[in-house]
Amino acid sequence: MEASILLVGGDDFLSTLLNRIRNLVSCTVEVAPTPSEAVPLIQAQQPDLIILQGNLPGGLELCRQIKDQARLAWIYCIVLDSPVQMLERAWLDRNWEMDCRIEALENGADAYLWLPQNDPHGEILEKEILLQQDRLLRAQIVSGLQMVKNHRELMRTNDILSAIALSDPLTELNNRRALDWELPRQVANARARAEPLSLVMLDVDYFKAINDTYGHPVGDRALQLISSRLRHNLRFRDTLFRYGGEEFVIILSNTDQQEALLVARRLCRLISDQSFAIEENLDLNLTISAGTASLKHVDDSRGASLLQRADQNLLQAKAAGRNRVFSCLDTSPQPDAENVPAARENE
């Protein structure tokens, strides 16, 4: 992808620098005459690199604002001063340059360049000096773009590692670590928006018998098929996690107790109504038990008490005979499949 550069400065600064940069590096260049006009461009497009006119009113404040925002701080900022005429005395010129450099770096600039256009007598600088300036400008831009590229590659690597860490390799569902991260966020969102939030905790009935009878590869395949059936029958706002072993948790955002009970019952029927083709000559009739719970104002911010209630209701469903749902709305949980198999291959 071609690099993107934003130039922020007055008309003379922009006209001088625009073609100069395009001749030095392959990039797309946007311009903004003032910091206030630059802000929406930076927020929307997030350019790789910004070159700011050093003496532009508000320019250094813009640089500091960018670096103070975590999501924008990676943008490489170069402050560039291009005085029309150098001072008569070289030591005054050096002091001026040093003061400008210090102020730019103190305001978060990644680099500062001093590229005067004329000599002390107002004459255009020699061609060799201008070429040297172009080399310096190009080298600084390339260096900045390389740092941005390295940052983005690191972020992509971190995203991949995070996805691996939060994903269950067998079922490709979100794992328990992902639930520990997501549930507090959902609790906070529900409370901020005054919306209901519910959980469903599911457990595959008699799963140990599958592993003991057919072996762990068959058990693993059964979990994959169950996960797939659950995942493809959830609503868009539901989030499915493999909690561990044969247990699953579903976060139901904007869902009250009654709706959660209906969702859980529907999922139980989806599992029990159709057998699972594990192998060419092996179909298993499987069922699940489920417990639901809904967020209360007394629940902790991490959702631990909410999860614990869903787990307790799941235990109630299993104690009542399995293949059913239990919630705080139930007084005596009933089977959620029309016909509970009298004998099943996995029992």
- The burial class, CB within 10 Å (0-12 / 13-18 / 19+), for 218 is middle
B/e letters for 328-341, b = 16+ CB within 10 Å, e = fewer, are bebeebebbbeeee
Q: Exactly one of 30, 172, 182, 246 is catalytic; which is it?
A: 246
Same structural domain, 18 and 106: yes
pLDDT under 50 in the chain at which residues? 85-91, 331-332, 337-347
The pTM of the full predicted model, rounded to 2 decimals, is: 0.59
Residue 264: domain span: 176-326
CA distances to 17, 48, 72, 130 from 93, in Å: 22, 31, 34, 18
pLDDT on residue 23: 85
In angstroms, the CA 222 to CA 306 distance is 28
Phi and psi at 330, nearest 5°, equal -85, 145
Contact predicate 77/124, CB 8 Å = no
The three-state secondary structure class of 81 is: strand
pLDDT in tens, 12-30: 888 888 888 888 888 899 9
pLDDT on residue 15: 85
Q: Does residue 80 belong to any structural domain of this protein?
A: yes
Q: Does residue 125 belong to any structural domain of this protein?
A: yes
80: left (phi over 0), alpha (psi -120 to 50) or beta: beta
pLDDT on residue 84: 60
Place of tokens 């190009």: 138
Half-sphere exposure in the Cβ direction for 121 (13 Å, CA): 3
Q: Does residue 338 belong to any structural domain of this protein?
A: no
Same structural domain, 55 and 88: yes
Same structural domain, 31 and 52: yes
Q: Does residue 331 belong to any structural domain of this protein?
A: no
Q: Does residue 101 belong to any structural domain of this protein?
A: yes
In angstroms, the CA 307 to CA 287 distance is 22
First to last CA, the chain: 57
B/e letters for 295-327, b = 16+ CB within 10 Å, e = fewer, are beeebeeebeebbebbbebbebbbebebbbbbb
CATH at 31 = 3.40.50.2300
- The burial class, CB within 10 Å (0-12 / 13-18 / 19+), for 30 is middle
**Residue 2 annotated among the catalytic residues of the structure:** no
pLDDT on residue 143: 93
Pairing of strands 276-279, 197-204: unpaired
pLDDT on residue 333: 53
CATH at 237 = 3.30.70.270
Same structural domain, 8 and 153: yes
pLDDT in tens, 188-202: 999 999 999 999 999
pLDDT on residue 346: 32
Phi and psi at 269, nearest 5°, equal -65, -40
Same structural domain, 245 and 194: yes
Q: Does residue 169 belong to any structural domain of this protein?
A: no
Same structural domain, 118 and 189: no
Same structural domain, 212 and 316: yes
The three-state secondary structure class of 120 is: coil
Q: Does residue 339 belong to any structural domain of this protein?
A: no
The three-state secondary structure class of 295 is: coil
pLDDT on residue 347: 31
In angstroms, the CA 53 to CA 62 distance is 11
pLDDT on residue 338: 41
Q: Does residue 342 belong to any structural domain of this protein?
A: no
Same structural domain, 149 and 73: yes
Same structural domain, 84 and 143: yes
Same structural domain, 181 and 319: yes
pLDDT on residue 273: 94
What kind and span of H or E run contains 204? strand 197-204
Same structural domain, 180 and 228: yes
Same structural domain, 14 and 89: yes
Q: How many domains does the chain divide into?
A: 2
